[in-house]
C-alpha cells in the first residue's frame, strides 16, 4: 500500500519544497510518479505532514526528491509542494480539456486545429492519464469522472474497473465525503456485478474501506450510505458476517446512528431470505435468535452508556419488527407460535424493568442522566402505541404514572406529553 501526501501548509524555509517549477513540466512529472507508484492509495493532509516527512527522511528507507523540490516520495508516499498546487491544478485542467477535445474529434474522425488526424487509442490514453491527475487535485470535477466512465465502459476486462476503484480510494483518502467518488464506486460495482466472480471479496473490501474512513472522518453520511447500499449485493452469509463484524465498532461508537442504521439494514437483509422459507422452522428460529441477541446487546449498551439517543432509536426498530413478525405474523409457524407468544410476554415485562432501571436514577448533576430519563420515557410512551391490544402494558404503565415522569424529566415539552398521553388513553 502507498500513500500520497498533499501538502497545503507553508513549507519550512529549509526543506525539499522550496524551488519553483515550470507548469508544463510539473504535470508530466506528477503523472509519471502516479504511474510508477501504482500502489498510491492515500493523501495525507494536516499540520503534522512535515513531521511525518522528516521522520521518513531519518529512516533508512529509499526516498526520492525531484531536482527542484516540487515533489518528494518515499516509503510509497508522495509529497507535493504547496507552491505548485495551484499551477499544477491549472496545468492538469488544461491538459485534460485539450485531451478530451482531441478524443471527441478522433471519435468522430474529424481533424483538429493543427490539421492532423487524431490517434484514437493515443488520445484515449491521454484522457485517462490527465483526468486521473486532475481528480487527485479536484475530486468533484464531474466531467473528469464522466469521461472515465465513458472510456472504461468500453473496455472488456474487469482490470480497468479495478483501477477505477483504486483511483476513487485514493481520492477518498483525502476527501472522504466526496459524493462524486462514492458515486463512481457504485457505478463500478453495478457494472461488474454480473460478470465478476470475485464480487463477494470486492464487497467485503468496500465495507472495510467505509469502516476505515468512518473512523477518520466523523459524521460521514456519504460513506455510511455507500455501505448501506452494498448490502443489496451481499449474500445471506455475508450479511451475517457483517452483522457480527460491525458489532465491536458500533459498541465503541454508540453515538453514531449511521452504524446502527447499517446494522438494521443487515438484519432486514438476513430476514428477507429467512422468512421466504415459510416451510422451515429452522430459518424462523434463526431470525428469532438474531433479534433476541440484538435486543440483549442493545440493553447492555443502554445501561452502560447513559443518555445515548441512537441506542433508543435502535431499540424502537427492534421492537417494531419483533412485534410485527414474532407476535402477529406467525401463521405459517404454528408450532413456534405458542413458545414465541410466551416469550413476548416476557419481553414486555423486561421492557418495564428497563423502564424502572433507567428512570430511577437519582443523579441530576450530569445531563446524560437527565437525557437517559427523557429517552426512556419517550420510548416507553412510544411502546404503548405499538404493543398488541391484547397486552395489558398500557394499564401497567398508567399505574407507574408515566405522565408525572415525563413532565419532571422534560417540563419544556409539557404540551407534547399531554397531547401524546391523551391519544394513548383514547
Grid coordinates given for 284? 424462523
**Residue-level pLDDT at 349:** 82
What is the number of other CB atoms lying within 10 angstroms of the CB of residue 133?
23
pLDDT class of 422 with cuts at 50, 70, 90: low
Better pLDDT: 289 or 45: 289
Distance, CA of 366 to CA of 368 (rounded, Å): 5
Average pLDDT over every residue of 396-408: 66
Q: Of the given ranges (88-97, 110-119, 199-208, 260-269), which has the lowest mean pLDDT?
A: 110-119
Average pLDDT over every residue of 281-285: 69
- Looking up cell 404503565 gives 397
3-state secondary structure of 5: strand
Report the side by side order of strands in the sheet with 77-80: 40-44, 2-6, 77-80, 71-74, 63-65
**Residue-level pLDDT at 54:** 46
Q: pLDDT above 70 covers what percent of the chain? A: 68
pLDDT tens string 225-280: 999 999 999 998 899 999 999 999 999 999 999 999 999 999 999 888 666 655 45
Q: Of the given ranges (22-26, 369-373, 374-378, 404-408), which has the lowest mean pLDDT?
A: 22-26
3-state secondary structure of 223: helix
Average pLDDT over every residue of 195-209: 92
The backbone torsions φ and ψ at residue 48, rounded to the nearest 5 degrees and listed phi first, read: -100, 15
Answer yes or no: is pLDDT of 335 > 50.
no
3-state secondary structure of 43: strand
Residue 115 CA neighbour count, 13 Å, CB half = 0
E strand map for 13-105: 40-44, 63-65, 71-74, 77-80
Distance separating the N- and C-terminal Cα atoms of the chain: 63
**Residue-level pLDDT at 328:** 52
What is the number of other CB atoms lying within 10 angstroms of the CB of residue 241?
15
Answer yes or no: is pLDDT of 323 > 90.
no
- pTM comes to 0.81
Residues constituting the chain:
426
Those residues with Cβ within 8 angstroms of residue 375's Cβ, 6 or more apart along the chain or in another chain: 307, 308, 309, 312, 358
Distance, CA of 131 to CA of 145 (rounded, Å): 8
Q: Of the given ranges (51-60, 251-260, 376-385), which has the lowest mean pLDDT?
A: 51-60
Count of helices and strands (H, E) across the chain: 18, 5
Amino acid at each position: 500500500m502507498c500513500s500520497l501526501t498533499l501538502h497545503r501548509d507553508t513549507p519550512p524555509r529549509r526543506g525539499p519544497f522550496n524551488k519553483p517549477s515550470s507548469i508544463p513540466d510539473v504535470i508530466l512529472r506528477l503523472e509519471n510518479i502516479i504511474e510508477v507508484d501504482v500502489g498510491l492509495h492515500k493523501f495525507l493532509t494536516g499540520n503534522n505532514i512535515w513531521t511525518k516527512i522528516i521522520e521518513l527522511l531519518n529512516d533508512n528507507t529509499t526516498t526520492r526528491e525531484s531536482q527542484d523540490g516540487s515533489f518528494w516520495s518515499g516509503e510509497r508516499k508522495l509529497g507535493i509542494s504547496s507552491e505548485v498546487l495551484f499551477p499544477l491544478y491549472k496545468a492538469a485542467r488544461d491538459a485534460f480539456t485539450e485531451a478530451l477535445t482531441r478524443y471527441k474529434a478522433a471519435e468522430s474522425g474529424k481533424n483538429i486545429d493543427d490539421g492532423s488526424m487524431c490517434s484514437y487509442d493515443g488520445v484515449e490514453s491521454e484522457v485517462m492519464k490527465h483526468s486521473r491527475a486532475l481528480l487527485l487535485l479536484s475530486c468533484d470535477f464531474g466531467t473528469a469522472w464522466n469521461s472515465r466512465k465513458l472510456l472504461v465502459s468500453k473496455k472488456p476486462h474487469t482490470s480497468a474497473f479495478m483501477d477505477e476503484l483504486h483511483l476513487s480510494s485514493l481520492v477518498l483518502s483525502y476527501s472522504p465525503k466526496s459524493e462524486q467518488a462514492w458515486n463512481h464506486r457504485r457505478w463500478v460495482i453495478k457494472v461488474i456485478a454480473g460478470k465478476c466472480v470475485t464480487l463477494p471479496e470486492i464487497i467485503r473490501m468496500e465495507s472495510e474501506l467505509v469502516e476505515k474512513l468512518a473512523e477518520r472522518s466523523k459524521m460521514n453520511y456519504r460513506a455510511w450510505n455507500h455501505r448501506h447500499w452494498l448490502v443489496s449485493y451481499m449474500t445471506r452469509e455475508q450479511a451475517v458476517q457483517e452483522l457480527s463484524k460491525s458489532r465491536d465498532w458500533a459498541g465503541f461508537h454508540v453515538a453514531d446512528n449511521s452504524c446502527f442504521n447499517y446494522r438494521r439494514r443487515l438484519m432486514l437483509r438476513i430476514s428477507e431470505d429467512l422468512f421466504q422459507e415459510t416451510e422451515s422452522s429452522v430459518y424462523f428460529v434463526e431470525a428469532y435468535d438474531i433479534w433476541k441477541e440484538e435486543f440483549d446487546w442493545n440493553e447492555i449498551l443502554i445501561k452502560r452508556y447513559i443518555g445515548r439517543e441512537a441506542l433508543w432509536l435502535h431499540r424502537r426498530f427492534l421492537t417494531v419488527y419483533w412485534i410485527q413478525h414474532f407476535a402477529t405474523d406467525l401463521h405459517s409457524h404454528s408450532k413456534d407460535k405458542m413458545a414465541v407468544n410466551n416469550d413476548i410476554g416476557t419481553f414486555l415485562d423486561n421492557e418495564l424493568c428497563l423502564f424502572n432501571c433507567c428512570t430511577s436514577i437519582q443523579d441530576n448533576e450530569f445531563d446524560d442522566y437527565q437525557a437517559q430519563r427523557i429517552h426512556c420515557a419517550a420510548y416507553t410512551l412510544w411502546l404503548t402505541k405499538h404493543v398488541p391490544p391484547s397486552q395489558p402494558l398500557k394499564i401497567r404503565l398508567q399505574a407507574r404514572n408515566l405522565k408525572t415522569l415525563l413532565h419532571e424529566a422534560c417540563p419544556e415539552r409539557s404540551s407534547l406529553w399531554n397531547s401524546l398521553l391523551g391519544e394513548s388513553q383514547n
